[in-house]
Structure 1
Amino acid sequence: MRTRLVFLLAVFLLILPAGPAGAEGELYREEKAVAEVMDYLYRYHIARPDAQQLMQGAIDGLLNSVGDPYTEYFSAGELEDFARSLEGSFAGVGLELEACFPYPRVSGVFPGSPAFRAGIREGDLIVRVDGEETSGLDLARVAEKIRGPAGSRLWLTVRRGGSDFNVELTREVMSSPVVEGKILAGNIGYVKVHVFGSRTAGEFGALMREFQSRGIGGLVLDLRGDPGGYLQAAVDLAGYFLPSGQVVAITVDRNGREEVYSTAGENPDLDLPLAVLVDGMSASAAEVLAGALQEYHRAVLVGGRTYGKGVAQAIVPLEAGGALKITIARFLTPSGRSIDGRGIEPDRQVSVPSLQLVAACQELQPHLPRSVTFNFAGGVMVDGERVDAAVYPLVADGEIYIPLRFALEALGFNVQWHPDLKQISIRTGSRELILEPGSKTAFAGGKNFKLKNLTWREGNIYLPVSPLSLLGIKVQHDAGQLKLELLPDEAGIMIPVLNH
């Protein structure tokens, strides 16, 4: 039997049989029925459908019948675009987006891109795509609407400073590095991996050699927005951080057969403190790498829960042209954990995008003091570094209020809303504060205290500063500034009486 070499999205090289398996018997009879229906429609239907239309309809029906969003048909042009995207070449308008309520926020604009030429800037909000509101859409859906074939047009409504304007863009083929890096304050290396392609491990290794020559003391690996790619690229990257022979992923096919993917020991083991940034757009091969580093306690994961794509696809070229991307296996983390539909929960949850890199650097420098300084006229600094965020304190009824999530996530706390209990939990280590907004009650140290009203502004919950001492946070207010400083555990946490 002839064989055809194919590759898996977020997996490996594989050989699949050419042509339909089991052409005898039941499948053959069903194929004949489909061919007959297509023939009668082509020859007699009043709409005069052409062969291409019928073929595409038949394929769409087959794909829809398996209920798998990752199994799809590629035309020759789409296959070429897909292959290019794994090597850092893609058709688009040059925008990088991050989740922001209620509209996605522009986190980067590629120089020279259509978006750059149209004047779109970092910090702008994307309000509509081709006339459709983006409020309520998840980031993956917005990104999908913005992508499209080169030469096609796109209309965006952009909000800046409270004013909206419309731009018309034409998508273009653009190229970008698959790996980018720089050195941050504190001599911390920062590496952004855009996609796991054939060049990723090599470009990462070259960057690491440069960083090591400059004596970095820690590394932030940014996998936010990374849609994945080849599993082997993720395994190769894991080899920079894990010893030879460590399991990185396990694949399981439809018959339960397992294949184990382990580090080969070909790359130098980087003995550096490591933080990995992830979010809801970190998928597939990016999740493979993040999951392995987390389970071996080799890195601390910071950011948001990952996408949850735990299945692998093969790309099968078709004799009639184009290709079929077909799901053929599930992959598991080294411990056997499935992430499909679940994603990976980070070790430190940071939902405010502008704080995620700050938080990763904090995890690499736990000995340094943590502080947030708000300027009442605008502007905020975290640990002495300016952060691009439009947040500020409020004054009402003689009390100062702070943006709850931003301030406390910046200081290292995990902030969660529990809808079933109608509670907000704020905790890190042994420090914990539970808020019940409805009953105006706060709980800490086994005691409960009266709480002033929380307030809402521009989608943010604001908390009065009076309960912050329960968390070991020192509050200083002078000269138009408000400084919050996290006191070390050695200083003790006092439980004062809150203001009524």
Structure 2
Amino acid sequence: MKYRALLAAAILTLAACTAPASVTASTVPGVTTTPTSSPGTPTSSPGTPTSSPAAVTPGTTSCDNPPEAFQPLCTAYHIITTSYVDPVDDSRLAEGAARAITEHESEPGATAPDSLTCALPSPAFAQMCNAFVEEELTDPAPTPDLVAAAISGMLQYGLDDPYSVYFSPDALARFQEETSGQIEGIGALVRSEDTSTPEDGPCSTISDTCQLVIVTPLEGGPAEGVGLRSGDIMTTVDGESIDGWLVDEVIAEVRGPAGTDVTLGILRDGTPLEFTITRAAIDIPIVSSRMIDDSIGYLELTIFATNAPHQVDTALRELLDAGATTIILDLQHDPGGSLNSAIFVASEFLSDGLVLRTEAPGDTEEYPVTPGGIATDPSIALYVLVDRASASASEVVTGAFMDAGRATVIGEHTFGKNTVQQQFNLGNGGALKLTVARWVTPKGHDYGKVGLTPDILIEIPDGAEPDFLLNKALEIIRG
């Protein structure tokens, strides 16, 4: 299987940081351990024939002093076992690492490295080291590639958490690009859907039950221009089936330099279609706003990107200056984003109190409202629009409003993502995005997996016009 980290559609991140690894591994039965002899001294395990001088002898070492290529693995293991929100099963991490190495597909013509010394984060990782040696001897690959696969495997198979992922250097650049509000690609928002679950929750590996669905083509973008539609299911990229790919691998293949083409296979209402799209530089429309009439202002936020606070503040000021006494905040399809951005947006409408609490093992942290919001006056009526794709930071903001009685929430049950991820850099240009806490509303409500229930519940039919919920809200507001 090809591997890349999952880039989840719903993301709630904290500040980046790094963490060291310091894990000592003892000699493990079944794995030959590199003896601590002086350089050039031939060594062998009892009962094991001594290799010829030209042979490469497999061996292990601890994470106290690992081979350079294994340092990211040791660091990742330390971070996972000390920072993950739930207790971690060491054997599952090791099994996941070994499985990912075994499934790794090497590039043709690769040769085995000069050293087969493997670092053991813990004794359970003997199976990973065995898989590493066997893979290098039968299907050689650069050691950093197998280490990256092992890190990805610890998360994908060891935690069963679609929001905890490994970002390769390329994937990290794409993630940072997306949360900055500017990308190069086809101009479409996508999400993974697990059709085997009632709520069509996220999934990581494309299969018969895990689909990558177009949420919406961005207005004026290449995807809209060729006729892609909301609800289209992606099946191929440049003629190659994406079955078995991880979600982030598909995203990586679809994105690319402006001016280049990509051909997508699409399933629409059971009919296979094909679209060739010329990629372009895309400014993700973080905010759009307008006056609907003399007193009602409309503000749509599509993602809580790092540049969202400035855009929200500017748009909100313009609406208020234009005479808006009612604000409709549209968070439909908003998958979340930066926690700092969520706190800022909530604070624009709340004068005091909390935005949320996060709960981690042995630690609870409170995030208060930031003073100085420009729409805190209770005479400014606030309505919030949500749907089943409103997730993470969208739910943080909506939950804070509901607890404070600040807004009337209209729409569908929200997505139900209540976890907080933190980014940890690994020193190889890649990073972990790891679930480190769960969030609850200021009053302690936990909406994980079930989502928020709006004050006024309105089911949005499939194929509804983009303004369906807005029009329903206007009917309610105007009475």
TM-score class, shorter-chain normalisation, is 0.5 to 0.7
1:47 matches 2:47: no
**Offset at residue 88 of structure 1 (A):** 1.3
The residue that corresponds to 1:130 in the other structure is 235
User: Residue 23 and residue 192 in structure 1: after superposition, are their counterparts in 2 closer, same or farther (change >3 A)?
Assistant: farther
Which whole-Å CA distance do the structure 2 matches of 1:14 and 1:53 have between them? 23
TM-score, normalised to structure 1's length? 0.60
User: Residue 171 and residue 310 in structure 1: after superposition, are their counterparts in 2 closer, same or farther (change >3 A)?
Assistant: farther
Which whole-Å CA distance do the structure 2 matches of 1:71 and 1:305 have between them? 24
Q: Deviations over 1:38-86 (max 9, x none)?
A: 5522543x33344244223312321111111111111111111111211
The residue that corresponds to 1:363 in the other structure is 476
Letter in 1 for 2:470: L
Q: Deviations over 1:289-343 (max 9, x none)?
A: 0111112111111111111110011111111221111111111111111121111
1:59 matches 2:162: no
Which whole-Å CA distance do the structure 2 matches of 1:40 and 1:142 have between them? 29
Residue-pair matches, total: 339
Residue segments in structure 1 that go unaligned for 5+ positions in a row? 1-7, 133-140, 367-500
8 Å contact kept, 1:302–1:350: yes
Q: Deviations over 1:350-369 (max 9, x none)?
A: 22243211122233323xxx
The residue that corresponds to 1:153 in the other structure is 262
Which whole-Å CA distance do the structure 2 matches of 1:95 and 1:183 have between them? 26
Q: Deviations over 1:196-255 (max 9, x none)?
A: 1222122111111111111012111011111111112111111111113x11100011x2
8 Å contact kept, 2:169–2:428: no
1:309 matches 2:414: no
Letter in 2 for 1:360: A
Work out which of the residue numbers 249, 252, 265 in structure 1 matches 2:356.
249
8 Å contact kept, 2:213–2:233: no
Mapping of residues 36-435 of structure 1, within 5 Å: 36-37=129-130, 39-44=132-137, 46-63=138-155, 64-95=157-188, 109-111=218-220, 113-118=221-226, 120=227, 124=229, 126-130=231-235, 148-150=254-256, 153-157=262-266, 166-185=274-293, 187-244=295-352, 246-253=353-360, 255-271=361-377, 272-352=380-460, 353-354=464-465, 355-366=468-479
Q: Deviations over 1:72-113 (max 9, x none)?
A: 1111111111112112123442235899xxx988765431x2
Give SS of 1:54's match.
helix
Letter in 1 for 2:20: G
**Offset at residue 15 of structure 1 (A):** 5.1
Q: Which has the larger radius of gyration?
A: 1
Q: Deviations over 1:416-460 (max 9, x none)?
A: xxxxxxxxxxxxxxxxxxxxxxxxxxxxxxxxxxxxxxxxxxxxx
- The 4+ residue runs of structure 1 with deviation greater than 6 A are 24-27, 103-106, 141-147
Give the root-mean-square deviation of aligned CA atoms: 3.5
The residue that corresponds to 2:21 in the other structure is 20
Which whole-Å CA distance do the structure 1 matches of 2:348 and 2:230 have between them? 37
Give SS of 1:68's match.
coil
8 Å contact kept, 1:81–1:91: no
User: Residue 92 and residue 340 in structure 1: after superposition, are their counterparts in 2 closer, same or farther (change >3 A)?
Assistant: farther
Give SS of 1:265's match.
coil
Letter in 2 for 1:67: D
Q: Relative to total residues, which structure has the larger strand share, 1 or 2? A: 1
**Offset at residue 33 of structure 1 (A):** 2.7
Q: Deviations over 1:382-425 (max 9, x none)?
A: xxxxxxxxxxxxxxxxxxxxxxxxxxxxxxxxxxxxxxxxxxxx
Residue segments in structure 2 that go unaligned for 5+ positions in a row? 1-9, 27-89, 91-119, 194-211, 238-245
Letter in 2 for 1:54: L
TM-score, normalised to structure 2's length? 0.63
Higher relative contact order (CA 8 A, sep 6+): 2
